[in-house]
Amino acid sequence: MALPGPDDKLFPYTIEIPAGWQVLLSKNVPGVFVGPASALEPEKDVRMIYVRVSPASMLDPEAVAANIKKSVPADKSWSAPLVEVREIGGVRGVLVRMDSGSGAEARSTLVLKMPLGQTSVDFMASAPRAEFEPLLPGYQRVILSVLPVR
């Protein structure tokens, strides 16, 4: 599926979505959500994949990955247990898992950062940690289906 991007143009990536999923626009945040048609509030539904433009450059994926790794704070308020350069359809991006908070506030986020000119596109899935682990295989299946438009 092609995804609507900024300025009424399509993102230069497609994503494979399960049957019954659709692209939902948000009135509150820039970008689009991809997920079940039954989602009433896409911003709050943990099943959703959020796609947005990020100001971060992806001209050097190795440098981006290294910067994420060295940015992990000493106080461990967040960590990045997965940071890797990933080639998808001949295009190199960065796949990151970030964990933050503790106890009831613990949250995990899976992000695939792919190049978009001088910036990047983030494909993100996030949930409270207790919900994240069971949802992770589905997140990976959708996020790792991203392919550049040829």
pLDDT at position 29, please? 85
Domains recognised in the chain with CATH numbers:
2-148 (3.40.1000.10)
Does residue 4 carry a pLDDT above 90?
no
Which residue type does 43 have? E
Burial of 113: CB neighbours in 10 Å, binned 0-12, 13-18, 19+: buried
Residue 5 has what DSSP assignment? -
Q: What is the pLDDT of residues 60-80, one digit of tens each?
A: 999 999 999 999 888 889 999
pLDDT at position 76, please? 83
Q: What is the pLDDT of residues 105-137, one digit of tens each?
A: 999 999 999 999 999 999 999 999 999 999 999
pLDDT at position 10, please? 86
Q: What is the pLDDT of residues 37-60, one digit of tens each?
A: 888 888 899 999 999 999 999 999
Q: Where are the beta strands (DSSP E) in 61-106?
A: 78-88, 91-100
pLDDT at position 96, please? 97
